[in-house]
Structure 1
Amino acid sequence: MKILIIKLRNIGDTLLITPLFENLKSHFGESTAIDVLVNEGTEGILPAQLIRKIYTLKRLDKKLQKLKGEIELLRAIRQEKYAMALSLTSGERSAFMSFISGAKMRIGFTPKTFWAKPIYTHNLKEKHQHTIENNLEALRVLNIPIITKKVQAAKAQESLNFAIPTNFIHLHLFSRWMFKALSDDFCAKIIDFITQTYAIECLLTCSNQQELEKLQSILNLSQNKPKFLNNLSLAEVSLLNSKALAFVGVDTAIMHLSAANNTPTFAFFGPSGAIHWGPWDNDLFTSTYTQKNGIQRMGKHLVYQESFPCVPCGRDGCEGSKKSDCLLTKLNEELALRTLKDFLDPLLLPLRGEKP
């Protein structure tokens, strides 16, 4: 039994397809070959032990190289003779890849283009529910029992080139979409608040030059100078995060990775909705993100979001500015830090022999 799963989105989206793997193997048998097709640069988040093969779609600038690469990719997929293709991305490209696979059973979210609509043998529609649940619709339409909703991330071996502190809080204050970012000044306040309130080390990660420059600006505003690590692989960040007492960050792939590691996760949300994107607690089977906005929990994880009527808007910043006022000028910093304290107290005060 060969199954191809297609998810052509970002790193966090790719991670949230992983609950399908164990459900498929449970239903069809452990020998089931599960292959995935994802965008290049997202594959490092996937747990290799559950996957036979990973194809990556390269977004090349040079047209000839792009054409050659995609022809080779299509040929490789076609040669596998898949029995089933699950396309978890709405769009014509994913539908076409599903068709090219030659699979007799093709399940996917119905594309808008008229020529692509007949491609799937089983059509899906996105519902107002968590992204994990929408991905699992591919199994429900086939009457495949869902026995787990556990998210699993890649993790590096215990061989990082730096000493991981015994007790620390992991902070990743960036997203590839800067309209999900907090102000540099408030990020500095978060660092100082954690360091001074709990006398514990903060360890920050960032992943590219833009984030590094923003991090330098944050550190210039901070009274404390925590350690930071740049350009770790996703598996290395995962290992680091798995040893943290808690994670604090924004709506980003590393937030989802933290939740997958069962690390208590505190996330600031702006334009995105927690109902769809909140950090998933692997110890639960049903999402508890039911409000449009505001402060919400799912098990050990917490989302902080302002309760403005326009939140979440799903847009790339206010009026297309690439900046979100609900995370910047209109963020209730006092309430946010008080909520963060309520989240961290039960985790950190016992380390000092204090009661929460």
Structure 2
Amino acid sequence: MKILIIKLQSIGDVLLISPLFYNLKKYYGDSCILDILVNAGTEKILQTQYLNQIHTLKRNPNKLQRIYDELALLKAIKKEKYDMAIGLTGGERSAFLAFWSGAKIRVGFPPNSFWSKNLYTHKLTPKHQHNLENNLEALRILNIPILSKKVLAPMPQKTTNLNNLPPHFIHLHFFSRLFFKCLDDSFCAKIIDTITQTYHIPCVLTAAKDSRESKKLQNILKLCHSKPLYFDGTLTLPEVSLLNSKALAFVGVDTGIMHLSAANNIPTFAFFGPSVVTIWGPWDNDLDSSAYNKQNGIQQMGKHFVYQEDFDCIPCGRAGCNDTKISDCLLSRLNQQKALSYLLDFLNNIIRHH
């Protein structure tokens, strides 16, 4: 059975499809050849243990190069003669690529457009449940048993970039490519100083190779009284994963690195703003069902903890308040004292047991 899985989204979304790999391999056995198609730049988040080949969709700003890349991708997909294609991105591109593959079995979330809504042979309906569970609907519709719901982090790779890490530390990642998910810089600095002063344990910050993230990181560092270690866009995703796997705990916002931390089984404390926790909360690999069942407020799934205010407007699912790209619930209206109190309770339990 030759299978192509398509997920054309960001790193967190790609990470949350990984439970399919083990289950498909277990069901179809040694005859299962599993390939995946993801956006270029997200492939480094994948654990490749169960994967045969990774196709990437490149989005080159040069139009001629982009056309060349996309034609090469179409040729590569057609050449593989897939038996099954699973489209886990709701959109016309994924539906078309599944159809183009020539697979007789095509599973996915159908788009609304007239020409593409019937390209899948097995149509999935999005449900209000955790994103991981929505991905597993592809197995349920085919009556494939779900034996594991573990999210798979990338395999550790040897690197010299992390040689000087302290033996015990807290990993913090305060950045998202969607800046309306971020906290105020001064509060980030307060979190770092509070952890350092309370536990005398170093904080290690990571940021992506991005000018906006770098600017925010440098401002946070200026506002800190303590001197945290930091990696300003100098680590690859596998290196960030390795760093995270050595941490006592993770503190951050609703972002792909939060999902990576949860996949590494590192106790994760996440600040949520407009996002829906029941869909996007950090998944605990030791549990088989989500424990996020409230509209908002404080929620927990196993070892992972979500702090979100309980305002009536949360979660709005929008790009900040009224789509302004500014989330008051993470900035001016965030109850910092309450948030810090919950964070310290979370860390007390971890450090006491360490």
TM-score (norm 1): 0.97
Asked if structure 1 preserves the Cα contact closer than 8 Å seen for 2:172 and 2:252, the reply is yes
Q: Tell me the CA shift for residue 97 of structure 1.
A: 0.3
CA distance in 2 between counterparts of 1:193 and 1:117 reads: 52
CA gap of 1:350–1:280, structure 2 versus 1, over 3 A, is closer
What is the correspondence of 1:40-119 to structure 2 with a 5 Å cutoff? 40-119=40-119
The within-5 A match list for 1:97-246 is: 97-161=97-161, 162-207=163-208, 208-231=210-233, 232-246=235-249
Aligned AA for 1:194?
I
SS at match of 1:170: strand
Quote the residue 1:248 is aligned against: 251
Q: Please give the alpha-carbon distance, in whole angstroms, between the structure 1 residues aligned to 2:297 and 2:30.
A: 42
Distance of 2:207 and 2:15 partners within structure 1? 18
What's the counterpart of residue 315 of structure 1? 318
Contact 1:7 1:38 survives alignment (8 Å): yes
Paired AA for residue 226 in structure 2: N
1:329 equivalent in structure 2: 332
Name 1:346's counterpart in structure 2: 349
Q: Aligned letter for 2:63?
A: K
CA distance in 1, matches of 2:30, 2:254: 34
Distance 1:206 1:159 in 2: 18
Paired residue secondary structure (1:29): helix
Name the structure 2 match of 1:259: 262
Displacement of 1:129 after TM fit? Answer: 0.1
Return the letter of the residue paired with 1:264: P
Runs of 5+ in structure 1 lacking a partner?
352-356
Post-superposition CA distance 1:86-127 (Å, at most 9, x none): 000100000000011000000000101111011100000110
Query: 4+ residue runs of structure 1 moved beyond 3 angstroms?
Result: none
Deviates more, 1:330-339 or 1:218-227: 218-227
How far off its partner does 1:149 sit? 0.3
Structure 2 stretches of 5 or more lacking a match?
none
8 A contact 1:160–1:236 mirrored in 2: no
Output the TM-score relative to the length of structure 2: 0.98
Contact 1:270–1:324 under 8 Å retained in 2? yes
Query: Which string of whole-angstrom CA distances, capped at 9 and with x for unpartnered residues, describes residues 225-258 of structure 1?
Result: 1010122110000000000000000000000000
SS of residue matched to 2:30: coil
Deviation of 1:159 after TM superposition, in Å, equals 2.5
Residue of 280, 284, 302 corresponding to 2:283: 280
Cα shift at 1:188: 0.5
1-structure distance, mates of 2:85, 2:238? 27
Q: How many residues end up aligned between the 2 structures?
A: 351
- Residues 25 and 50 of structure 2 are in contact (CA less than 8 Å); yes or no, is this contact kept in structure 1? no
1:306 aligns with 2:309: yes
Does the Cα contact within 8 Å between 1:85 and 1:107 map onto a contact in 2? yes
Q: Equivalent residue for 2:19? A: 19
* Cα distance in 1, alignment partners of residues 310 and 86 from structure 2: 36
Structure 1 residue 165, shift from structure 2 partner:
1.1
Q: Secondary structure at the match of 1:191?
A: helix
Deviation at 1:350, TM superposition (A): 4.4
